[in-house]
């Protein structure tokens, strides 16, 4: 049994015993009978010898004595009380009676002559009784409060944001279009009459859709902060309970509270927990969840009006939501919050860089270019990891070394520096990663190599950071094929150099096969024609893309497998040809990796151009580029050369514009 439970049980029994003792003491005091007799009657009884007990209390101020005691014919709880002056004759008589009988005499001073005795006799019993009554009241009220709390199922779990937690748009970076979409909500909350005069109806609900970490919750907070209205936030799972009807009751109570504070915003995070399609799943839907959803639908657009209440919800699974939620009048505006582009990532980095100290050579623009696919939460984590590493290394500012390490940690996990390779394994990994790099360098459509390392991280023995040269919405067939070739570069290098293959290409094959399969079955990029053979089939009950529907015969399935194998084999042969033609470059990169273990994009470019690594300070001598033709240089090399010559606005120029500017400068 838990120690806290045992202590609580002991305390309860002790408390109950104190109450019983107090009640018995009080009842005994009530049952005591006190007879008030005159002083002359006391003297008569004393002469008769019927006084069995006597207590004499002296009052020093008045010279009067208080006499209490018992007579022989008294019961156990019966006493007498009198007062008077004790003369010498009376005292003599008392002494005589005491000598002739067993009279017990006690002499004490007046309690009022001693503050301690006065407190002990007159005040302490009252305080004890008051304490017992207060403790009993506290114990009973606490038990009643716990009972009320345990029965308080139907109250809303929505919490109201305090003023100190309010967020404005200046804290929301990288969501320019999204902020414009919600600007109408802010204007309506500030000046509703302007919209009502025009006869416009503001959306009652806004659904924010996007991957995790893209800033959906932050955007909702910023809307309430800009409009300066109350902001209630709750998770979809807070509505669901074991008891039927509780979720619907919480929805009613939430809107009741919101009406009392209108205009206001209600934010429901992860609404798919309660808003999934009704009547789905194995054996029917969940009754409690469906009742909660029905109540939410009614509150948003039912018989009653919720003027001044705007509901904002967030989810990354809009496909599983009930259609009734998405119709006009409820969530009639859907805003997609995508992963940020390079400009958005730079803005997000600027927000999270506040309060951090960076070295002079750290440029957030370059970090934004290297973090393709990072969400806002990932970027915040990246800078936080870099700051933690800086403190751990006892540095005064964050350098690119910490940012590089933090970037690798976010992607692959911490480096396993204690894990030792055999010399053969280390050479195999070096040539494997060098094979990826050679294909990435020589194929224009393949991903660009930004970093190569043979230090183990996570489940990988090494990794090659390859990113698209430009962020685009579409991919051409050529780009997809060259991406597959880049993925196969590691296996081809192993086969050509060591005449054997390893399991290191497992993840590469998985990615390449997935791309080839999609080209054949979804993108129509094969000899089978522009036909979509497969499409994702989401299961509402399971909540995941559980399987794919296949509307084709077994003969077509055989042809799909042939086309998929054909794409992989052609890319493999193309990759083999590239690496054979560039065997010297492969050996150069692999040898450099064996020596340095990690090389960056700038070092790779210098290595390809000059056949050796740059100086230890990391500075690349741009004079080496002057002997080469401008058209042979990469865009980054041209930008470096133009900046050295003092040409402005080089970041916005393409390759042709850079070459023209350099030629004009000469």
**Which residues are known to be catalytic?**
433
In angstroms, the CA 551 to CA 348 distance is: 44
Residues with Cβ within 8 Å of 102's Cβ and at least 6 positions away in sequence, in order, are 52
Give 581's Cβ-side CA count (13 Å radius): 10
Q: Compute, in degrees rounded to 10, the torsion defined by CA atoms 206, 209, 212, 217.
A: -10
For residues 499-522, b (16+ Cβ closer than 10 Å) or e, as one string? eeebebbeebeeebbebbbebbbe
**Backbone phi, psi, residue 172, to 5°:** -105, 110
Helix (H, G, I), strand (E, B) or coil at 236: helix
Question: For residue 201, what are its two tokens?
Answer: 């109806």
Q: Where are the alpha helices (DSSP H) in 271-311?
A: 287-301
Residues with Cβ within 8 Å of 289's Cβ and at least 6 positions away in sequence, in order, are 240, 247, 274, 276
In angstroms, the CA 460 to CA 429 distance is: 10
Question: For residue 52, what are its two tokens?
Answer: 């069995």
**Backbone phi, psi, residue 453, to 5°:** -145, 150
In this structure, are strands 104-109 and 51-58 parallel, antiparallel, or unpaired? parallel
Task: Please state, in angstroms and as integers, the Cα–Cα distance from residue 395 to each residue in 127, 490, 654, following that order.
Answer: 64, 37, 38
Question: Contact, 280 vs 173, CB < 8 A?
Answer: no
């Amino acid at each position: 049994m838990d120690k806290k439970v045992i202590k609580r049980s002991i305390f309860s029994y002790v408390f109950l015993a104190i109450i019983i003792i107090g009640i018995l003491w009080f009842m005994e005091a009530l049952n005591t009978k006190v007879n008030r007799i005159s002083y002359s009657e006391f003297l008569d009884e004393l002469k008769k010898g019927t006084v069995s007990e006597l207590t004499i209390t002296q009052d020093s101020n008045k010279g009067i004595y208080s006499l209490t005691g018992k007579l022989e014919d008294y019961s156990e709880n019966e006493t007498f009380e009198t007062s008077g002056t004790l003369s010498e004759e009376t005292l003599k008589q008392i002494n005589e009676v005491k000598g002739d009988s067993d009279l017990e005499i006690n002499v004490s001073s007046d309690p009022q002559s001693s503050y301690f005795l006065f407190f002990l006799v007159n005040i302490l019993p009252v305080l004890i009784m008051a304490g017992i009554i207060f403790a009993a009241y506290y114990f009973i009220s606490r038990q009643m409060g716990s009972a009320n709390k345990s029965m308080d199922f139907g109250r809303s779990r929505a919490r109201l944001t305090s003023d100190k937690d309010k967020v404005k748009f200046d804290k929301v970076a990288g969501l320019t279009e999204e902020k414009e979409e919600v600007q109408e909500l802010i204007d309506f909350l500030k000046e509703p009459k302007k919209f009502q005069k025009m006869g416009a109806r503001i959306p009652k609900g806004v659904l924010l859709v996007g991957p995790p970490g893209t800033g959906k919750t932050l955007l909702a907070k910023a809307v309430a902060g800009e409009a300066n209205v109350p902001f209630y936030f709750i998770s979809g799972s807070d509505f669901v309970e074991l008891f039927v009807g509780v979720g619907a009751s919480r929805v009613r109570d939430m809107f009741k509270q919101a009406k009392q504070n209108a205009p206001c915003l209600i934010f429901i995070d992860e609404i798919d927990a309660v808003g999934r399609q009704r009547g789905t799943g194995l054996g029917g839907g969940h009754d409690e969840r469906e009742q909660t959803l029905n109540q939410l639908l009614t509150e948003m657009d039912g018989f009653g009006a919720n003027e001044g209440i705007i509901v904002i919800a967030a989810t990354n699974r809009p496909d599983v939501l009930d259609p009734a939620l998405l119709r006009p009048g409820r969530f009639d505006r859907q805003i997609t919050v995508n992963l940020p582009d390079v400009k958005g990532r730079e803005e997000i980095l600027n927000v999270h860089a506040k309060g951090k100290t960076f070295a002079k050579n750290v440029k957030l623009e370059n970090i934004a270019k290297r973090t393709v696919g990072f969400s806002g939460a990932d970027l915040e984590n990246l800078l936080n990891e870099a700051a933690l590493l800086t403190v751990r290394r006892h540095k005064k500012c964050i350098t690119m070394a910490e940012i590089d390490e933090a970037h690798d940690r976010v992607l692959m996990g911490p480096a396993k520096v204690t894990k030792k390779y055999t010399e053969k394994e280390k050479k195999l990994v070096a040539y494997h990663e060098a094979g990826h790099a050679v294909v990435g360098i020589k194929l224009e459509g393949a991903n660009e190599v930004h970093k190569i390392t043979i230090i183990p991280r996570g489940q990988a023995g090494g990794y090659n950071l390859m990113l698209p040269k430009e962020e685009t919405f579409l991919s051409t067939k050529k780009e997809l094929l060259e991406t597959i070739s880049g993925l196969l570069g590691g296996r081809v290098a192993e086969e050509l150099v060591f005449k054997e293959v390893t399991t290191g290409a497992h993840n590469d094959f998985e990615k390449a096969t997935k791309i080839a399969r999609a080209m054949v079955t979804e993108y129509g990029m094969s000899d089978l024609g522009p036909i979509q053979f497969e499409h994702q089939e989401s299961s509402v009950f399971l909540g995941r893309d559980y399987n794919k529907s296949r509307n084709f015969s077994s003969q077509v399935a055989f042809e799909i497998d042939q086309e998929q194998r054909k794409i992989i084999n052609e890319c493999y042969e193309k990759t083999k040809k590239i690496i054979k033609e560039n065997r010297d470059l492969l050996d150069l990169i692999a040898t450099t990796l064996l020596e340095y273990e990690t090389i960056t994009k700038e070092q790779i470019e210098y290595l390809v151009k000059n056949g050796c690594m740059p100086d230890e300070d990391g500075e690349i001598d741009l004079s080496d580029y002057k002997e080469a033709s401008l058209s042979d240089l990469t865009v980054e090399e041209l930008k470096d050369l133009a900046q050295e010559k003092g040409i402005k606005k080089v970041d916005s120029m393409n390759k042709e514009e850079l070459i023209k500017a350099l030629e004009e400068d000469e």
